[in-house]
Amino acid sequence: MISMKILLAEPEYYTKYPPLGLLKIGKMEERNGSYVRLIRGNTIINDFTPDKIYITSLFTYAWKPVHEAIEFCMKAYPDSEIIVGGIYATLMPEKLRKVFPLIEIHTGLYPQAEELLPAYHLLKEVERWRNWDKSIVFSSRGCVRKCPFCVVPKIEGGFKADKSSIMPFTHPGHKRVVIWDNNFLASPYSKGILRELIEYKITPDFNQGLDARLIDEEAALILARLKPKSIHFAYDFKEEASQVEKAISLLSKAGFSKRNLIFYMLYNFYDHSNNMGDTPADFFYRLNDLIKWGVTAYPMRYVPLDSLDKNKFISPLWNAEKLEMIARARRVLGYGGSFVPYNGFVNKIKNSKCFEEAMELRPINEESKLNKTIDAYNNLSVLMV
């Protein structure tokens, strides 16, 4: 007997991944005897009037589609209870409450849904996700680091690693898995889980990246046996240089192509509470390191946790001109937004004495020649980023 009709609503913002939180809530509601449907964007399901609507949210700068989804659901289903959760709802509940005083706002996780296998069958109702064939799993929550720019502690709380296996959270029909842990290698069970993936011949995607500071010889060898096309790490502070270099060496010896080791490089960060942040000179220092070590650099512009616009914030230690230099260099000299260590780019960085020289573009005729060189390289070796 159906107890309630439940609608799960994903706003129409950009994302590469289906709404894991909604799918877990969907499974929770199904276990309670509810009839559950899933939509993306402002979609009406014929002959279906929900008793309760769950709406998720992503980053704060993607707030507009969330508000549109709420407004749509309120008009389409005026008698339905509406609950809004997710990242934006957790970080800025007061903004939501001011605009929509009648909705319920949920902050953080749903503990009662955390241990459930997501209701992946609901994805077949949404065109965008109809052919989705990967499981999304967390073997741990939180992180052992306390990075001042990170949202994880506000969403997930302290570090918790209590899953020695991810198979109960992997759909039986999926041979690929997205591991969404914020610091997978910090879990005492991480190496066992990696061996489990090898045993069941499951291909992993370490979506959030791995902590280079936790790479040891054993981890490098196990990761190499999994043969992922690429692995992401981070090099956010130059104080991490020796640990990052050691991780690259271990992974290279284990069999990884260095170009397929991709390092996120945070820039434009500023911590107002401590009056500290990175500088263009710091960016140049880290880029020099990564190019020297033969790996790929992926610059990531810092966005404050409460920003309502994606790229409006400018650190007091940066300016708009220098930020634009990185953006242009990524478009012209980069591939897929990353700086790949091909010979021409390596020589350019080595011969540069400062940030401005490194990011400066050549006159148009020389630039065209360089672009042809890049295109030729890309035709020979496609990097999966």
List, for residues 214-227, the tens digit of each pLDDT value. 999 999 999 999 98
pLDDT score of 148: 87
183 in the same domain as 332: yes
87 in the same domain as 187: no
96 in the same domain as 68: yes
- Of 62, 83, 113, which one is at a domain's C-terminal end? 113
pLDDT mean over 174-187:
96
Q: Is residue 123 part of a domain?
A: no
Residues 6+ apart with CB under 8 A from 84: 54, 55, 56, 57, 66, 70, 96, 100, 103, 104, 105, 106
- CA distances to 140, 148, 151, 270, 274 from 145, rounded to whole Å, are 14, 9, 12, 18, 17
Q: The domain that contains 317 carries what CATH number? A: 3.80.30
Judge contact between 122 and 38, C-beta under 8 A. yes
For a pLDDT cut of 70, what percent of the chain falls above it? 94
DSSP 270: E
Q: Is residue 120 part of a domain?
A: no
Q: The domain that contains 53 carries what CATH number? A: 3.40.50.280
pLDDT score of 244: 98
Residue with tokens 């508000």: 67
- pLDDT tens for 47-103 read 999 999 999 999 999 999 999 999 999 999 999 999 999 999 999 999 999 999 999
Calculate the average pLDDT of the chain.
Answer: 92
Q: Is residue 385 part of a domain?
A: no
Q: Is residue 12 part of a domain?
A: yes
pLDDT classification of 373: cutoffs 50, 70, 90: low
Is the per-residue pLDDT at 27 higher than 80? yes
Domain holding 319, by residue range, is 129-380
Judge contact between 119 and 5, C-beta under 8 A. no
- Of 83, 113, 143, which one is at a domain's C-terminal end? 113
Domain count, the chain: 2
308 in the same domain as 260: yes
82 in the same domain as 32: yes
163 in the same domain as 53: no
176 in the same domain as 41: no
